[in-house]
Amino acid sequence: FMDFNDEVGGDLCCRFKRFDILFVVQTVFDKEQCIDILKKATEEVLGKQIYTQNLTGQWISNICEKCTKKLVALNKPFKYVVTCVIMQRNGAGLHTACSCFWDSANDGSCSYRLEDKSMYCIVTCFALAI
Amino acid sequence: KVERTDDKSYTIQPHFRKKFRPMQVEGIIQEALQEKLGKEKYNVDKAQKWTRELTEGIKTKLKDLNWDRYKYIVQVVIGEQRGEGIKMGTRSFWDSDTDNLAKATFSSDSMFAVAVVFGVYLY
């Protein structure tokens, strides 16, 4: 709305009251939210299961697909890559490392580890901004 | 290199010759794994060092390929060979025209290693 103000040198000076509406599009990777998604998906699929060689393939597909779907549903301008490793608990050692060449301001990764009596499960998610 | 005749044109696809080529990258990672781990025996402290060095090394080799506007993610998993069962899988949400992945495995008496490289194009 307009306020007519003739104080300034007799000229008609219109003062507009502006309401600036800022749309903040979150294009920075939200790690906490992502870890939450990975955690829920893993616990949903693996729950209290015992390691079974034949079922691992199925479990991994389910976990990865659930994670991807939930991440996409966040509607953010990111491309996602989700990897999952399930290993039988045998006393053997396992090491993972990853190195990325990306835009560190907007891209990010997070991982979630589930330790069971019979197995280990590591789920990693990489999000790359478009 | 794409020649631009119009100021308002934007490249939204990589040039055919500069696309992520899985076979080529597979060769690179296989070579890197063989070189680093071929003659070694599994050792807890060294394995941690190897994973880190492998990822850095592979990333450097990928940068040398000079593919424009590609982002790379290199993931290496090294484990002790004790007869345990292990499975690894991945799902991605990307543009299958421009993005791809390459993988290689290495195994010896004392250990196994898996290396995966994801190449994602930035528009």
Q: Are B42 and B82 in contact (CB under 8 A)?
A: no
Chain A partners of B51 at a C-beta cutoff of 8 Å?
95-97
- Whole-number Å distance between alpha carbons of B70 and B62: 10
Beta-bridge mates of residue A96? B77
Taking all residues of chain A, what is their mean pLDDT, rounded to a whole number?
A: 82
Residues of chain A contacting B89 with CB distance shorter than 8 Å:
57, 60-61, 64, 83-84
Distance from CA of B50 to the nearest CA of A (A): 9
The pLDDT assigned to B99 comes to 92
Q: Hey, CA dihedral for B29, B30, B36, B41, is it positive or negative? A: positive
3-state secondary structure of A16: strand
Predicted-complex ipTM score: 0.83
Q: What is the pLDDT along chain B (123 residues), one digit of tens a residue?
A: 665 555 556 777 888 888 889 999 999 999 999 999 988 899 888 999 999 999 999 999 999 988 888 999 999 999 998 888 889 999 999 999 899 999 999 999 999 999 999 999 988
What's the mean pLDDT in A74-100?
Answer: 91
Residues ≥6 apart with Cβ < 8 Å to B48: A95, A97
B17-36: buried (b, 16+ CB within 10 Å) or exposed (e) per residue?
ebbbeeeebbebbbebbeeb
Q: How far is A21 from chain B (nearest CA, A)?
A: 28
- Whole-angstrom distance, CA of residue A46 vs CA of residue A63: 9
Looking at residue A117, what DSSP letter applies? S
Number of CB pairs < 8 Å for A and B? 143
Instruction: Assign A80 to helix, strand or coil.
Output: strand
Contact list in A for residue B74 (CB cut-off 8 A) is 98-100
Query: Amino acid letter at B9?
Result: S
CB B114 within 8 A of CB B76: yes
**Residue B3 or A98, more confident:** A98
Q: Residue B123: how many CA atoms within 13 Å on its side-chain side?
A: 12
Residue A95: strand, helix, or coil: strand
What residues are paired with A4 via a beta bridge?
A14
